[in-house]
Amino acid sequence: MLAVVYAFEKFRSYLIMNKSTVYTDHSALKYLFAKKDVKACLLRWILLLQEFDFKVIDTRGAENYAADHLSRLENPYENVFDPKEINEA
């Protein structure tokens, strides 16, 4: 949810007059605007998102290849330094 709000804030000038599609595995995002009593922070996000013309398409995690790939990405720089080398110097 925060990522969607951040993206719409960051790219506001590009998205404000255009139709957008949000592909997400967060299915509750589709029903966000129908909620009645919400917390203040969530209400601010809803008000910000209402300025844009977008639709939310729910994709399952297995079908969302980009997010699935990013979650399985390995860090090639993990454990580059041996702690013994640092302590000996």
Which pLDDT score is estimated for 31?
81
For residues 35 and 32, what is the distance between their CA atoms, to the nearest angstrom?
A: 6
pLDDT value of position 82:
65
**CB 8: neighbour CB atoms within 10 A?**
20
Question: What are the domain boundaries of the chain?
Answer: 2-88
Rg (CA), the chain: 19
pLDDT tens, position by position, 3-55? 899 999 999 999 999 999 998 877 788 788 888 888 999 999 999 999 999 99
Closest CA to 29 of 3, 66, 63, 68: 3
Asked whether the predicted pLDDT for residue 84 surpasses 80, the reply is no
